[in-house]
């Protein structure tokens, strides 16, 4: 009982959640299935009703499915996307009651105790759920009973409503799998002749508990309502938004900065309580004429230090048009990332790179964070592929630059040279970029072969022998010779 009322639970089961979600985004005619790689084989993860009527089943390999149904349309499954979609459905279901929880990967459970009369009764409540979900293109099975286990059993095995106080009568004809038991336990019970829940209830409990353990009796008691089962609703995501309404309009930059400072103190305190840091901040300036100006600040790293963040807003605030005055400020962290507490030492915070993040942010506010880039090492011995270029704000230095031989600081596309004797040994004299050069010292060779598993038109000529050529004119060049088509090229220059 709950506050003098009989507890009532609704179980929502979406038997084709993944396929329905995919078809909502991209409709497809004919049988449809989602594929997922399991046990080194591509198998059906979820399928449409039309595919089921053709005899296809979950777990079937895609090769067998296409043999049965050549017209089958398939796409790869998106498990994270399905989880996000189910969480969205849980938020939608709060229209019926405030207590909504997830039930596995394809179901919801709702505690509608005391709320069914708002929809006109239990039958009207389930009818409204079916109608709205069908209009959204989702197939659903619903069960309503006094306990969570009984509601789950009805949704999966006998869709409908169990009258109050009649859970035993409703569950008795259902198979033992309706108690949410593992498949081996269900098989063992069927071998003993216990096919239905009613037969299980009529059997003495002690022998069953000795043979199958306490989990069997626990599931039975949960379904009958003798053992309570909690429903855990999803926690609301923290909201990082602060508003400040001013008694008089302001327009000076310093006044707006002072108001922003007050908002930052409160926002950063909220971020600290969640061990998070802001990556993107939006300051909305509402004017007295109801027009708004937005100042966006994108940070190079998660921050929650008001003293560091406030100066970064000045450029955007100075460029904003205050009009006849600003009467409201709103600051929101539209993107936040985890930022655990830092160990403080005598020299300051243990985390390094805060000053660099501030510098990247300052430069990024002028030219864009994506245009501030850094080089990262890549696992390849091909010179052109030995590094990656990534935005500095969204990457961190990784690993060490390991090279068996020195590499030039300047690297460019191979440029041919004119040599008097284009043999395998470095030429004594050659011309490059209209300059006549003479070799003073040659170091090498370093032979580099193409990566045959990658397509690269520049390396179709085969292997290369690289040399460092120190010229009498003072230039240190990185040159290579191609034995397959004899010729010399310059690809880099040492400092």
pLDDT of 437 over the 50 cut: yes
Gyration radius from the chain CA atoms: 34
pLDDT of the residue at 373: 87
Long-range contacts of 450-456 (CB under 8 A, 24+ apart): 450/382, 451/380, 451/381, 451/382, 451/385, 456/382
Q: Residue 182 has which token pair?
A: 């593992």
Please give the span between the terminal C-alpha atoms of the chain, in angstroms, as a whole number. 82
ω into residue 226 within 30 of 0, thus cis?
no
Interatomic CA distance for residues 234 and 321, integer angstroms: 42
Taking the C-alpha atoms of residue 146 and residue 148, their distance in angstroms, rounded to an integer, is 7
Q: Is the pLDDT of residue 355 over 50?
A: yes
Whether 42 shows a pLDDT value over 60: the answer reads yes
pLDDT digits (tens, 9 = 90+) for 274-326: 999 999 999 999 999 999 999 999 998 898 999 999 999 999 999 999 989 99
**pLDDT band with cut points at 50, 70 and 90 for residue 393:** confident
Tokens read off for 68: 């049965």
For the ranges 96-110, 324-338, 420-434, the lowest mean pLDDT is seen at 420-434
**What gap in Å lies between CA 430 and CA 420, rounded to an integer?**
7
- Residue range 361-379: mean pLDDT, rounded: 84
pLDDT band at 349 (very low <50, low <70, confident <90, very high): low
The predicted structure's pLDDT at residue 350: 47
Q: What is the mean pLDDT of residues 108-112?
A: 95
Q: How large is the average pLDDT for residues 166-171?
A: 93
pLDDT band at 168 (very low <50, low <70, confident <90, very high): very high
CA distances, 181 to each of 175, 188, 322, 364 (Å): 11, 11, 65, 57
Averaged pLDDT, 388-392: 85
Question: Mean pLDDT, to the nearest integer, of 380-388?
Answer: 83
pLDDT tens string 185-234: 999 999 999 999 999 999 999 999 999 999 999 999 999 999 988 888 87
| Pairing outcome for strands 326-338 and 348-349 | unpaired
User: What is the pLDDT, as a whole number, of residue 162?
Assistant: 93
> Which pLDDT band holds residue 4 (cuts at 50, 70, 90)?
low
Identify whether the C-beta of residue 467 lies closer than 8 Å to the C-beta of residue 479.
Answer: yes
Of 398 and 122, more confident: 122
Res 1: pLDDT: 44
pLDDT given for residue 288 in this prediction = 93
What is the C-alpha separation between 357 and 350, in angstroms, rounded?
Answer: 15
Lowest mean pLDDT among 101-115, 158-172, 399-413: 399-413
- What totals of helices (H) and strands (E) does the chain contain, helices first? 15, 23
Distance CA(122)–CA(476), nearest Å, equals 85
Cα–Cα distance for residue pair 386/466, rounded to 1 Å = 15
Looking at the predicted structure, is the pLDDT value of residue 73 above 90? yes
The model's confidence at residue 398, banded by pLDDT at 50, 70 and 90, is confident
In the 8-state DSSP scheme, what is residue 459?
Answer: G
Mean pLDDT of 398-425: 82
| 8 A C-beta contact, residue 430 and residue 440 | no
Nearest residue to 369 (alpha-carbon basis) of 298, 318, 270, 433? 298
Burial zone of 409 (CB within 10 Å; 0-12 exposed, 13-18 middle, 19+ buried): exposed
pLDDT at 344: 67
Per-residue pLDDT for 107 more than 60?
Answer: yes
The encoded tokens of residue 442 equal 């040659």
Contact 109, 222 (CB under 8 A): no
For the chain, the average pLDDT equals: 89
What percent of the chain stands above pLDDT 90? 69
Q: What is the mean pLDDT of residues 53-70?
A: 92
Q: Does 348 have pLDDT greater than 90?
A: no
At 315, give phi and psi (nearest 5°).
Answer: -60, -45
Q: Please say if the pLDDT value at position 420 is more than 80.
A: no
pLDDT value, residue 88: 94
Q: For residues 119 and 96, is the Cβ–Cβ distance under 8 A?
A: yes
Q: Examine the pLDDT at 369 and tell me if it is beyond 90.
A: no
What does residue 254 show for φ and ψ, rounded to 5 degrees?
Answer: -65, -35
H-run or E-run covering 263? helix 253-273
Residue 346: pLDDT band (50, 70, 90) is low
DSSP structure class, residue 358: H
- Residue-wise pLDDT for 441-459, tens only, equals 999 899 998 888 777 777 7
């Amino acid at each position: 009982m709950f506050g003098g009322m009989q507890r009532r639970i609704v179980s929502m089961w979406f038997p084709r959640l993944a396929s329905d979600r995919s078809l909502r985004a991209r409709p497809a005619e004919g049988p449809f299935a989602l594929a997922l790689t399991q046990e080194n084989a591509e198998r059906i993860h979820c399928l449409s009703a039309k595919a089921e009527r053709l005899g296809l089943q979950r777990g079937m390999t895609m090769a067998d499915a296409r043999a049965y149904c050549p017209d089958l349309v398939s796409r790869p499954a998106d498990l994270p996307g399905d989880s996000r979609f189910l969480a969205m459905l849980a938020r939608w279901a709060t229209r019926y009651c405030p207590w909504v929880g997830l039930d596995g990967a394809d179901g919801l459970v709702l505690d509608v105790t005391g709320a069914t009369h708002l929809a006109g009764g239990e039958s009207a409540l389930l009818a409204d759920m079916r109608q709205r979900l069908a209009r959204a293109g989702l197939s659903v099975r619903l069960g309503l009973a006094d306990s969570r286990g009984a509601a789950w059993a009805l949704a999966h095995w006998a869709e409908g409503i169990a009258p109050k106080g009649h859970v035993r009568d409703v569950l008795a004809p259902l198979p033992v799998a309706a108690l949410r038991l593992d498949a081996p336990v269900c098989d063992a019970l069927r071998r003993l002749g216990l096919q239905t829940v009613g037969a299980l209830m009529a059997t003495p409990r002690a022998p069953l508990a000795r043979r199958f353990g306490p989990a069997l009796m626990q599931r039975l008691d949960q379904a009958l309502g003798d053992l309570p089962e909690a429903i855990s609703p999803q926690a609301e995501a923290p909201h990082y938004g602060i508003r400040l309404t001013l008694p008089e309009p302001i327009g000076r930059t310093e006044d707006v900065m002072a108001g922003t400072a007050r908002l930052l103190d409160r926002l950063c305190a909220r971020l600290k309580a969640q061990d998070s840091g802001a990556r993107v901040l939006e300051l909305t300036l509402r004017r007295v004429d109801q027009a708004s100006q937005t100042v966006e600040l994108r940070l190079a790293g998660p921050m929650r230090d008001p003293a560091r963040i406030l100066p970064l807003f000045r450029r955007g605030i100075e460029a904003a048009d205050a009009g006849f005055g600003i009467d409201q400020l709103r600051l929101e962290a539209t993107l936040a990332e985890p930022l655990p507490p830092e160990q403080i030492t005598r020299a300051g915070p243990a985390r390094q790179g805060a000053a660099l993040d501030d510098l990247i942010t300052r430069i990024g506010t002028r030219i864009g964070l994506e245009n501030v880039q850094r080089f990262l090492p890549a696992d390849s011995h091909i010179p052109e592929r030995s590094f990656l270029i990534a935005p500095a704000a969204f990457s961190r230095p990784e690993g060490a630059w390991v090279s068996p031989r020195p590499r030039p600081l300047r690297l460019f596309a191979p440029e041919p040279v004119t040599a008097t004797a284009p043999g395998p040994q470095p030429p004594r004299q050659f011309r490059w970029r209209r300059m006549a050069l003479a070799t003073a010292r040659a170091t090498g060779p370093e032979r580099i072969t193409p990566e045959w598993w990658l397509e690269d038109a520049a390396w179709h000529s085969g292997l290369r022998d690289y040399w460092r050529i120190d010229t009498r004119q003072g230039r240190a060049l990185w040159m290579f010779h191609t034995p397959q088509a004899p010729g010399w090229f310059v690809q880099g220059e040492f400092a």
